[in-house]
Amino acid sequence: MEEPVVECRNLTKQYGSLVAVDHLNLTVRKGEIFGLLGPNGAGKTTTILMLLGLTEPTSGSVRVLGLDPARQPLSVKSRVGYLPDQVGFYDGLTARENLSYIAKLNGIRGKEMQDRIRAALDQVGLSDVADRPVRTFSRGMRQRLGVAEVLIKRPQLIIMDEPTLALDPEAVREFLDLIRRLKADGITIMLSSHLLHQVQAVCDRVGLFHKGRMVLEGTVSDLAQRVLGGAYRIHVEADGGTALDEALRRLPDVVQVTRDGAQTYHIEARSDLRADVARAIVEAGGRLLALSSDVPRLDEVYTRYFQKEATYAAA
Amino acid sequence: MQQPEALTRGRQREGSPWTGLWAVVAKEMADYLTSVRMLILEALIVLTAAGTIYAASQSLRDGFGGDTFLFLKLFTTAREPLPAFVGFLGLLVPLLGIALAFDSVNGEFNQRTISKVLAQPIYRDALLFGKFLAALGALALTLTSIWLLIVGMGLLRLGVPPTGEEVVRSLWFLLVTIFYGGVWMALAMLFSIVFRQPATAALASLAVWLFFTAFWGIIASLLAQLLRPVPPGDPLALIDQVQLELALARISPNTLFTEVALATLNPTVRSLGLVLPIQLHNAVLGTPLPATQSMLLTWPHATGLIAATIVLFALGYVLFQRQEIRA
Ligand SMILES: Nc1ncnc2c1ncn2[C@@H]1O[C@H](COP(=O)(O)OP(=O)(O)OP(=O)(O)O)[C@@H](O)[C@H]1O
Ligand SMILES: [Mg+2]
């Protein structure tokens, strides 16, 4: 099997008595988009800093692209692009000058540098304002310039801390497109975000952080399976009285049926039961008016997880 | 607590700690050369230089000050109501040094550029040392251009070129002046690491400067009286006391600079500090020292200033290595 791009084993970071990251095990494979989720203070940024060697772990091990960020920080940092949350720029310099400083720090110079700057500006759509001082940029433009700075070094892994925070909906859509394009180029991406539907839209897998631990990890439907019990939700509009209730509940893999008004049913199931639901309604003598299913939403997983967590904590 | 990056990793770190150093130096230098703050200070120094040197050359043309070492006297001749140029330098150079560095590290934090820069393949060493070198370079550049300006004015106004002796002396003085500024620059840089707010760092640096300029002399003399009381009628104890006071006073970079200015720009100064009549026995008073002798006389001062610069930088370096980067 191919070596994982990121591998943490029992990674721990303590600030005095506070454990910011607690025996974290995390594996990210090549070409994946991995989402880091979790409430404020869960330890996402701390984990990212340790991956880059910007903070030393208290214990445990980290490998990034097969390298140890504490021992080989230069090799790691020349292969990994990092976009910090609320990234800043030298405001008096133009976008191009900011980029060329970053390029030079990476040892990229001359014509190669000019080419890469042009390509990066193109990719994020800032070519027209390349020679304006960054002071005049809107937050969305700054965010895109941050991405351009990451692209300059042609990284194999990109780590972004809350990259969509300042973006308007259209910009978010463009940003997600850009992420998908980067993935298509074979770049592995880790991003942390609080905007769950965006995470769901691009991430192959997500990890849910809570108090320094990764409490859940997997694809969104994995998580839904575990947290919500049923991963599939089917909505039915049918005419047929209480007999339908019974018929639906009897179906295998159904977790829960709730009725909403006289004709609307919400079914939670462990597998895709749409066909079975339709048949059951017809067999029970009902009239099927509408049937739809929705993919489990990450928001729901998240909310439900922390509700459960709160009830345990209270108990 | 945060482990110091350099210390825990020791020698196992890959690559050179200076990777990316010149990229940092080039960027910082460019910043200095275009910054309004530096422009204002440089204009101030140039105006001061032009004014005082003009006034001094006027006096010298009028025949005051004899006819030897005229060029050096440009620096030291005062004409009412202006003090001499060296007097101004003693004030302006620390100001310039502080202005160069009081926001150099905390500025990166406040602009939120620090974590991004350190996520590039460089060590913290290169960032800090690059900033230091650039500031020192900017300082040297400014002071050297002032020096050239003065040479030019001297040629025009006095009509005689400086002698080789004078050139050597004034270059030595230039070098010492650069490191006199370097001390204050390194101090401001240290404070820019310690304090998150640039204004705090600037104020702290100015406070230290004010302390040495206004109060250290008094404190040194009080301390000397306290530590070496002189019983009545004991001249040896008095010498002891004066020597202690002098030693204490020399902790201040201002004292060191003033003494160097005195000995370098004034060839007749044969000794700094206390001179006993017996020591003067063989010396013909008023005979100028050769330049090399004056340099030897001020050698400890120069190395003192350079050492202070390095120590302050090293202190900042250690603190910076320990700092948590999260902005
Ligand atoms: N330098 C520090 N000293 C002490 N505690 C710290 C330090 N840095 C971070 N912490 C603590 O570590 C914990 C994890 O912080 P971290 O920034 O990793 O959270 P996060 O998941 O990124 O949160 P957010 O979503 O708010 O960005 C927090 O409780 C924080 O207070
Ligand atoms: Mg964070």
CA separation, residue A96 to residues A115, B166, B266 (Å): 12, 48, 52
Q: What is the pTM of this model?
A: 0.88
Q: What is the pLDDT of residues A168-190, one digit of tens each?
A: 888 889 899 999 999 999 999 99
Q: How many CB pairs under 8 A join A and B?
A: 91
Nearest residue CA, atom 4 of ligand 1?
A15
Longest dimension (CA), chain B: 69
Q: What is the pLDDT of residues B254-303, one digit of tens each?
A: 999 999 988 898 888 777 766 555 555 555 556 788 888 888 889 999 99
For residue A134, the model assigns a pLDDT of: 97
Is the CB of A17 inside a 6 Å radius of any atom of ligand 1?
no
- The alpha carbon of residue B22 is apart from the nearest alpha carbon of chain A, in Å, by 9
- Do B274 and B239 meet the contact criterion of CB atoms below 8 Å apart? yes
For residue B100, the model assigns a pLDDT of: 95
Q: Is 90 exceeded by the pLDDT of residue A164?
A: no
Q: Which of A270, A271, A276 is nearest to A229 (CA)?
A: A270
- The alpha carbon of residue B69 is apart from the nearest alpha carbon of chain A, in Å, by 47
Check residue B231 and report its DSSP letter.
-
Contacts of B23 in chain A (CB under 8 A): 101, 104-105
Mean pLDDT for B124-130 is 96
Contacts of B1 in chain A (CB under 8 A): 16
- The alpha carbon of residue B205 is apart from the nearest alpha carbon of chain A, in Å, by 25
Is the CB of A45 inside a 6 Å radius of any atom of ligand 1?
yes
Residue with tokens 């850009």: A178
In degrees, to the nearest 5, what angle opens at C-alpha B162 toward C-alphas B157 and B62?
40
Q: What is the pLDDT of residues B209-249, one digit of tens each?
A: 999 998 998 999 999 989 888 888 888 888 888 889 889 99
- The residues that bridge with A244 in the sheet, in sequence order, are none
Q: Is 80 exceeded by the pLDDT of residue A195?
A: yes
Contacts of B131 in chain A (CB under 8 A): none
Q: Is B286 helix (H, G, I), strand (E, B) or coil?
A: coil
For residue B281, the model assigns a pLDDT of: 52
Provide the ipTM: 0.87
**Which ligand sits nearest to residue A36's alpha carbon?**
1
Q: Which atom of ligand 1 is nearest to the CA of A21?
A: 14
Q: Of the ranges A13-27, B96-110, B288-302, which one carries the lowest mean pLDDT score?
A: B288-302
For residue B64, the model assigns a pLDDT of: 67
Is the CB of B14 inside a 6 Å radius of any atom of ligand 1?
no
Q: How confident is the model at residue A251 (pLDDT cuts 50, 70, 90)?
A: confident
Taking the alpha carbons at both ends of chain A, their separation in whole angstroms is 44
Q: Of the ranges A9-23, A234-248, B112-126, B146-160, which one carries the lowest mean pLDDT score?
A: A234-248
Distance B123 CA to ligand 1 centre (A): 23
Spatial distance between the Cα atoms of B53 and A94, rounded to a whole number of angstroms: 41
User: Ligand 1: which of A15, A37, A206 to mutate, most ligand atoms within 8 Å of CB?
Assistant: A15
Contacts of A49 in chain B (CB under 8 A): 115, 325-326
- The alpha carbon of residue B137 is apart from the nearest alpha carbon of chain A, in Å, by 19
Q: Which of B306, B313, B310 is nearest to B176 (CA)?
A: B306
Is the CB of A18 inside a 6 Å radius of any atom of ligand 1?
yes
Residues of chain A numbered 241-300 and touching chain B (CB < 8 Å): none
Residue of A nearest to B19 (CA): A105
Spatial distance between the Cα atoms of A263 and A240, rounded to a whole number of angstroms: 8
Contacts of B131 (CB under 8 A, 6+ apart): B24, B28, B101, B104, B105, B189
